């Protein structure tokens, strides 16, 4: 009994400290995009809270304070800060979406002075986009020091920083400066972080971390992405030499802290942010760099970038790269859907993909949780880490478009669960609310009214016979996405006409209804799709109106590798058998 309890407690502790530390994020400048928009994308790759929440605009009384809550994305779920492992925030002060009954209320780490008015925005594990087209993406990075939260000393992690920025700012440069000031004044805890911040004109990469376990501050740096370029980050800092420039900002202590810790000296040349404050890649070599290589190779194949480097601090992959062709929303999401198809690392090929080309590779404890003791296997090794990963909870592409009013120009193309099996749905920055199915869900509950549950269910079921089922999924997905992209111009022209005729409220209502109706159709169809997959591939057969129990056997190459030919074809023993 004691052994069981010890095992249970250790397992619970490991689960509780699991961080969502494996995202990919991109930024596309206005001169690199097909339509002139500035685009930010993000895949949130850590199984947890998959809800997309609408936080409404609010007015606040003079002298009121804003609560700053702990973020489980930083260092894992900690019961002392309330909420739960499945509900990132439970609080009345963030609107109805977070006022969730039946869960322990979140406990503030501290408070900062509130402003008179805060803007409406879309929120998930990190802030996404506000009503003024300010857009944010994120990925977690490995820093040398990752402090714990502490009231009065270390209040902020990137999640809450991104939310404050969306509540108070309209421009990217303004948002970077505000988040920097908050780190400087109130301290920083948790992992290293990359936040991409964009508006209708420009995009910035902001990176941050702590540098003392029990200190009161943090350090940060930000670099502007050229308008004609594409940027990608994948769980490793990407900013290198810090220099004085209008296109770069940093905390005042970035040099002094590095000297104090003995990590850098001026005699060694410019301060290399990634080398000085970072701690390489997460988990294993190429966990981060392979994704950077793949994303840059997809947008600029003419560069013929090598997939191989000499070490984690390579400068082989530039900070930003000019794409061969201008990029669309579809191009960006294709990057997130990638499993290295067609390369030497193709995860749909080989014995590990099984007979039906499944690209999903479940991770062992050592690679899915950094700096934790304990192993699930004595076998040493690693699988390639793809851009598309089975434990992704959502992904999106934001567009900020200066030629349209904010309520229409700001657009989030959102896909629940992993990108390869997700369906992009449009949500305009000017909507009055988000569809209810997007705002509810609990990973420990099966909920047919939850958008995330529907997509996660289909994605998991598809792993039974991936090469067959993925075609059915894509057939439905492609139809919905084509319709959404096809209707986009007409919807936006109608909304724009209403606004020009001083009917802004009617325009917002129209956009809200369109987004809601489309999402509800997708949800209904996805559950129908799950039933269709169950019937069509029941018991490993192909079952259609043309006939039931049509045989679908394993491919010859797989049968040979798994020893099928050694099966019981005679009564004689095989050589070496006893």
Write the DSSP symbol of residue 268. G
Would you state the pLDDT for residue 378?
72
Cα of 353 vs its chain's centroid, Å: 24
What separation in angstroms does the CA of 95 have from each of 59, 117, 120, 242, 578? 12, 14, 10, 40, 69
**Nearest CA-CA partner of 39 in 246, 221, 202, 226:** 202
**Cβ neighbours for 571, distance < 8 A, ≥ 6 positions apart:** none
Q: Is-contact 283 382, C-beta < 8 A?
A: yes
Whether pLDDT at 488 is above 90: yes
Residues pairing with 426 in the sheet? 413
**Total residues found in the chain within this entry:** 578
Delimit the domains of the chain by residue range: 19-395
Cα of 284 vs its chain's centroid, Å: 20
> What DSSP string describes 110-125?
EEEEPPSEE--EEESS
**376 — pLDDT class (breaks 50, 70, 90):** low
pLDDT in tens, 41-93: 999 998 899 999 999 999 999 999 999 999 999 999 999 999 999 999 999 99
Residue ranges with strand state E in 115-229:
117-118, 121-123, 127-130, 135-141, 192-198, 203-209, 219-225
**538 — pLDDT class (breaks 50, 70, 90):** very high
Residues pairing with 209 in the sheet? 219
Would you state the pLDDT for residue 17?
41
Give the percent of the chain with pLDDT over 70.
Answer: 94
């Amino acid at each position: 009994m004691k052994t069981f309890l010890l095992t249970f407690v250790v397992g619970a502790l490991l689960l509780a400290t699991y961080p969502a530390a494996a995202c990919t994020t991109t930024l596309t400048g206005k001169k690199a995009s097909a339509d002139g928009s500035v685009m930010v994308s993000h895949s949130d790759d850590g199984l947890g809270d998959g809800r997309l929440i609408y936080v409404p605009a609010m007015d606040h009384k003079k002298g009121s304070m804003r609560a700053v809550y702990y973020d489980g994305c930083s260092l894992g779920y900690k019961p002392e800060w309330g909420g739960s492992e499945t509900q990132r925030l439970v609080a009345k002060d963030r609107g109805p979406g977070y006022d969730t009954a039946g869960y322990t209320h979140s406990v503030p780490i501290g408070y900062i002075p509130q402003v008179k008015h805060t803007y409406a925005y879309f929120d998930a594990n990190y802030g996404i986009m506000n009503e003024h087209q300010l857009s944010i993406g994120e990925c977690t990075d490995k820093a040398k020091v990752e402090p714990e939260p502490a009231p009065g000393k270390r209040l902020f992690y990137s999640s809450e920083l991104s939310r404050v920025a969306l509540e108070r700012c309209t421009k990217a440069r303004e948002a970077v400066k505000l988040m920097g000031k908050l780190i400087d004044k109130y301290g920083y805890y948790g992992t290293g972080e990359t936040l991409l911040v964009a508006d209708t004109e420009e995009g910035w990469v902001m990176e941050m971390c702590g540098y003392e376990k029990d200190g009161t501050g943090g350090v940060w740096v930000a670099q502007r992405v050229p308008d004609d370029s594409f940027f990608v980050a994948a769980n490793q800092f990407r900013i290198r030499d810090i220099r004085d420039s209008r296109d770069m900002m940093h905390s005042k202590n970035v040099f002094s802290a590095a000297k104090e810790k003995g990590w850098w000296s001026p005699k060694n040349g410019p301060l290399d942010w990634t080398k000085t404050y970072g701690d390489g890649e997460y988990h294993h070599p190429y966990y981060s760099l392979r994704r950077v290589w793949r994303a840059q190779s997809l947008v600029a194949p003419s560069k013929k970038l090598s997939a191989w480097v000499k070490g984690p601090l390579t400068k082989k992959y530039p900070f930003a790269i000019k794409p061969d062709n201008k990029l669309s929303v579809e191009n960006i999401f294709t990057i997130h859907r990638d499993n290295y198809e067609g390369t030497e690392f193709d995860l749909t090929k080989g014995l590990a993909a099984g007979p039906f080309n499944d690209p999903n590779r479940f991770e062992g404890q050592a690679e899915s949780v950094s700096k934790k003791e304990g192993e699930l296997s004595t076998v040493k090794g690693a699988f390639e880490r793809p851009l598309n990963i089975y434990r992704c909870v959502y992904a999106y592409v934001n567009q900020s478009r200066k030629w349209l009013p904010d309520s229409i120009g700001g657009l989030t193309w959102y896909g629940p669960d992993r990108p390869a099996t997700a369906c992009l749905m449009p949500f305009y920055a000017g909507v009055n609310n988000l569809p209810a199915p997007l705002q509810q869900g609990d990973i420990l509950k099966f909920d047919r009214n939850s958008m995330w549950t529907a997509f996660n269910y289909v994605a998991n079921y598809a792993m039974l016979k991936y090469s067959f089922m993925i075609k059915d999924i894509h057939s439905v997905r492609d139809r919905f996405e084509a319709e959404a992209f096809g209707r986009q111009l007409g919807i936006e022209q109608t909304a724009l006409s209403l606004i020009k005729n001083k009917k802004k409220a009617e325009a917002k209502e129209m956009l809200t209804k369109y987004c809601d109706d489309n999402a509800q159709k997708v949800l209904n169809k996805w559950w129908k799709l799950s039933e269709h997959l169950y019937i069509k591939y029941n018991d490993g057969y192909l079952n259609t109106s043309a006939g039931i129990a049509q045989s679908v056997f394993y491919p010859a190459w797989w049968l040979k590798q798994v020893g099928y030919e050694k099966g019981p074809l005679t009564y004689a023993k095989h050589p070496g058998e006893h």
